[in-house]
A and B are shown apart, each in its own frame.
Chain A
Amino acid sequence: MIVVTGASKGLGRAICERLIEKNIDVFGLARNVEDVPFTSMSCDVSSYESVKAVTQQLKKEGSKVSGLVNAAGIASMNLAVTTPQSVAQKIINTNLLGTIYCCQLIAPLMLRNKHGSIINFSTIAVALGLKGESIYAASKAGVEGFTRSFAREMADFNVRVNCIAPGPIDTSLLKGITPEQINKIVSQQIIPKQFKPDSVADLVELLIDSRSDSLSGQVLHVGGA
């Protein structure tokens, strides 16, 4: 079973749908799972207790967890000096602490089997140092640093940890960003093209598969950076 956070919409939803299409068991997590048509549970990843409740449920059900995809995330395009403190806090809590909490609490379910793959999400904004994304990029740079160290901690247990850093993918996360802004970012990628959620799902599919057994602690930039 693969646990996917942010499963109700955007990239998380696309990843769940791809995995289900490939006959892989998915357990989706999202704050609101009312309209989620696959096995799911309500979870606020920024709350340690909420994530802990998920692990207790998975243990209770005897679920064999072999993967975790930390796709839950929020963004806010704003200059740091005009970003309210509450928004900055929310971005760090959800993107960075949410990823850390899920890794801390769900990874032990994989350690017992000495097998697993964890996929975290960063952004191309970290590598490109994009204007107007400093707080968002800071939260994701934290995720990249965490990924590299956590990968070493998990290596003894044969659990791989990698990170996908997409450019501006066509999802609800881009709501409020103009096509001009998107084009400007895309033009800085090595492959100057806006990719679709399917390209990210392709990478997730590869990273949870044994074909990528040699990869851990890596950050893969969708579009190249």
Chain B
Amino acid sequence: MSNASDVKLLVFTLVSQALDDKAIVVTEDMPLIGGESVLDSMKLVELCLALEDKAADMGFEFDWTSDAAMSRSRSMFRTAGSLAAKFISQMETKK
């Protein structure tokens, strides 16, 4: 799997699996950190581990420990869309 839209769908699916309420539809601008986040901190860590596993299956290492990872304004976890974009960019640069 290397098509960017397929990978984005995969990331959204993993976000969806991390949600307690399975009825929630994951959207591009769904916040993953901060007060409006639909994920608690434990679920966020579980999502990171799931992404790490998936990246390993796809032949690259997903790094969620960068300086900006948890910054409200720059974080890859700002939204589901920014997370998918970062995952895809790491896939493209590290593969």
Q: Would you call B49 and A111 a contact (CB within 8 A)? A: yes
B56 partner residues in chain A, CB cutoff 8 A: 59
Q: Are B42 and A52 closer than 8 Å at their CB atoms?
A: no
Contacts A156-B42, A157-B42 given; does A104 touch B65 at CB 8 Å: yes
Closest Cβ neighbor of A56 among chain B residues = B61
Interface check A112, CB cutoff 8 A: yes
From 71 to 122 in chain A, residues with beta carbon under 8 angstroms from any chain B beta carbon are 104-105, 108, 111-112
Distance in angstroms between the alpha carbons of A56 and B62 in the assembled complex: 11
B65 and A105 contact, CB distance less than 8 A: yes
Given A156-B42, A157-B42, check contact A112 B49 (CB 8 Å).
Answer: yes
Of A56, A105, A111, which one neighbours B45 at CB under 8 angstroms?
Answer: A111
How far is A3 from B35 in the complex, measured between Cα atoms in Å?
36
Query: Would you give the 0/1 interface string for A33-70, flagging 1 where the beta carbon is closer than 8 Å to chain B?
Result: 00000000000000000001000100100000000000
CB distance from B7 to the nearest CB of A (A): 21
Cα separation A104 to B56 with both chains bound (whole Å): 20
Neighbouring B residues of A111 by C-beta, 8 Å: 45, 49
Q: Which of B33-64 contact A (CB under 8 A)?
A: 41-42, 45, 48-49, 52-53, 56, 61
Number of A positions contacting B (CB below 8 A): 11
Note all chain B residues with C-beta closer than 8 A to A105.
65
Contacts of B53 in A (CB 8 A): 112
Q: Which residue of A lies closest to B63 (CB)?
A: A52
Bound-complex Cα distance A108 to B61 (A)? 14
Chain A, Cβ-Cβ closest to B45: A111
Q: How far is the CB of A101 from chain B (nearest CB, A)?
A: 10
* Interface contact B49-A108, CB-CB below 8 Å: yes
- How close is B53's CB to chain A, nearest CB, in angstroms? 8
| A52:B65 contact, CB within 8 angstroms | yes
Query: How far is B34's CA from A74's CA once the two chains are assembled, in angstroms?
Result: 37
Residue of A nearest to B40 (CB): A156
CB nearest neighbor in B for A104 = B65
Q: Which residues of A contact B49 (CB under 8 A)?
A: 108, 111-112
Contacts of A52 in B (CB 8 A): 65
Q: Digit string of B57-76 for contact with A (CB within 8 Å is 1, else 0)?
A: 00001000100000000000
**Which residues from chain A contact B48 at a C-beta distance below 8 Å?**
108
What is A's interface to B at a CB cutoff of 8 Å?
Answer: 52, 56, 59, 104-105, 108, 111-112, 153, 156-157
A108-B48, A108-B49, A108-B52 known, 13 other contacts, Cβ within 8 Å: A52-B65, A56-B61, A59-B61, A104-B65, A108-B45, A111-B45, A111-B49, A112-B49, A112-B53, A153-B41, A156-B42, A157-B42, A157-B45
18 A/B residue pairs, CB under 8 Å, sorted by A = A52-B65, A56-B61, A59-B56, A59-B61, A104-B65, A105-B65, A108-B45, A108-B48, A108-B49, A108-B52, A111-B45, A111-B49, A112-B49, A112-B53, A153-B41, A156-B42, A157-B42, A157-B45
